[in-house]
Amino acid sequence: MAVLLLVTGLVAGLGAVATTPAVAAEDVSRPPAESTSGARPLAHYFDNAGISDDSAPGAADLDGSGRSLSAQALAAAGWSPGARLTVHATALTWPDTRPGRPDNAIADGQRVQVSGRGDAVTFLVAGTGGPATGTGRIGYRDGTRAAYTLTAPDWDTGPLATKAVALPYGNTPGGQRSGPVRLYAVTVPVDRARPVAHVELPRVADPAARLHVFAVALRHGTGWTGSWSASTSGYAPVGPWEDQTLRLAVRATSGGPAVRLRLDNTFAARPVAIGRVTVALRSSGAAARTTPVPVSFGGAEEVRIPAGGQARSDAVALRIPAGAELLVSMHLPEPVAAAPVHTAATGTNYGTAAGTGDHTGDASGAAFTERVTVWPFLTGIDVVGGPGSVVALGDSITDGVGSTSGANRRWPDVLADRLAAQSAVPRYGILNQGISANRVASDRYTGDGVSTDTGGVSARNRLDRDVLAQTGAHTVVVFEGVNDVRWGASSADVIAGLRDIAARSRAHGLRVLVATIAPCGGYRDCTADVDARRQEVNAFIRDNGGTFDGVLDFDAVLRDPADPARLLPAYDSGDHLHPGDAGLRAVAESIDLDLLRPDAAP
């Protein structure tokens, strides 16, 4: 399982929450008396100066040719010396060093102090001389060790879609060279059932490549369940917003006596200031039932989220039932002209007029005169306790296009209702990670810069953030591919993407269910060739040779028996691509709830 660190909130009277075991990694050796002996903090191994001051750009050399990261560009992104950064739900610390001094370790088998229980280890890394791949080992306190493989993409040429942060320029001995240059967060799985004693950094086989490690930390498991989520689908122009309050409406799928929020600054180039935040049970519209409850972050009322980072709130003692509608309000004290957003396929969010100040504590909705068509910053709501969560990874059909707006009739909503109405299977939280226009194998949004395209990076490229790092996730349902074949991808491309998603998810201990692609005959670009490639993908899904833990035949549920290339008319929203309410209900009701159990037989 991977090592990432989650910030665990405490609620008065509840105490600390417990970790949950998961699938074990394979042991590759058992040396005598394995312990933390010989392991040192990562900073002990720093042997490369990769960060320079703009006034002395030749004082560091990250890549062997004199180029380096800019201390000023890092600080502008919120990555200043000693900064606490949460990425992929892991709390890490950026090196607390002066420019020109050693700030990273060139990976070569060093034994690093990383200890405790968790589900993953996260590394902040950069490759130089090309992508750097190496094999390291996780050492456990019981004396066993398990191998892992890690790839650090090249800081100069690696993909922007999977970066942790991109900087606009790098330094050279002769001055600045325009970028972007990148840093990456990469996670590897660890066995949740065994305490970790240390991590051995990878040894890179390619002599031309170097793997630079700036930070490493364990992502700790928690006794929380993900109750609501939304994927960041792009970094889009907004407002601009300044000194005004946003009020976002969400629906909890799992209940509990306390909640916590997750805010993301995904894809951003600069930090964002989030002022006062509150949460409340919703009455109707923008009105709360009672006075909203303040939310803190590490005890503070406000939080500044670095570029590419996350912020997880402290626990809030607010009891919510499953299916409850919530209002999350946040004051934005500084100008925000672009933000990480999820384009709202259904539902309405609210805002006050610019310059009207902090209305997060208002129970009344009177001040919220503006309508907001996106979910900005808010990406998750967790409840304390519970049985864990199921992630729905999908495109517009999962996101709710074609369903009745504001009625919570997306298929994940109906699935959550089914779970709440029975007791034979645990009432898992259902996390909707659908993005309209999303694809399995290729990006709609490049992953960098301000863009009006909110189709997201590919399912493969967002897997770490949108599935593997989700709170309490133990099962993922993958329902994607129609946009790939509509836009020219081969069936082999889609199949390769599904294989990769399944392999990485299973390595992290998740159960993987994959749904067949629904028909779209009659939609403007759903040609006979598109349908042929769709059928090839579906044939693989149905007979996948053990690649998946289960198959959900949504194609069979939705197609018209008289014309299998089209949706059944009763299930068609009218555009021939997206099922309507009846079709989405049929999809949700077709799922055998026993398949959602993390220990269900294949």
| Boundaries of every domain in the chain | 42-219, 223-384
Instruction: Give the strand order in the sheet containing 145-152.
Output: 111-116, 196-204, 132-140, 145-152
pLDDT at 4: 33
* ∠ Cα 188 549 565 (to 5°): 115
* ∠ Cα 113 114 118 (to 5°): 170
Whole-number Å distance between alpha carbons of 366 and 540: 54
pLDDT at 31: 41
Q: Is the pLDDT of residue 564 over 90?
A: yes
Q: Is the pLDDT of residue 25 over 80?
A: no
Rounded average pLDDT over 15-19: 30
What DSSP element (H or E) covers 557? helix 554-558
**DSSP code for 155:** T
Which parts of 262-409 fold into alpha helices (H)?
A: 396-399
Which amino acid belongs to residue 345?
A: A
Q: Which residues of 65-100 are buried (b: 16+ CB within 10 A; e: fewer)?
A: eebbbbbbbbebbbbebebebbbbbbbbbbbebebb
Q: Is the pLDDT of residue 3 over 50?
A: no
Closest by CA to 446, choosing from 162, 130, 153, 155, is 162
Q: Of 33-42, 319-328, 490-499, 533-542, which gets the smallest average pLDDT?
A: 33-42
Q: Which residues of 139-174 are buried (b: 16+ CB within 10 A; e: fewer)?
A: bbbeebbbbbebbbbbbbebbbbbbbbbbebbbbee
pLDDT at 36: 52
Neighbours of 330 (CB within 10 A): 25
pLDDT in tens, 325-345: 999 999 999 999 999 999 976
Residue 180: asked if its preceding bond is cis (omega within 30°), the reply is yes
Rounded average pLDDT over 17-28: 32
* Average pLDDT over the chain, rounded to an integer: 93
Q: Which CATH code for domain 223-384?
A: 2.60.120
Neighbours of 204 (CB within 10 A): 24
Rounded average pLDDT over 556-567: 98
Q: Which two tokens stand for residue 463?
A: 């897997």
Closest by CA to 482, choosing from 391, 576, 598, 570, is 576
Q: Is the pLDDT of residue 22 over 90?
A: no
Closest by CA to 459, choosing from 412, 428, 491, 502, is 502
Please report the sign of the dihedral spanned by the C-alpha atoms of residue 237, residue 158, residue 391, residue 227: negative
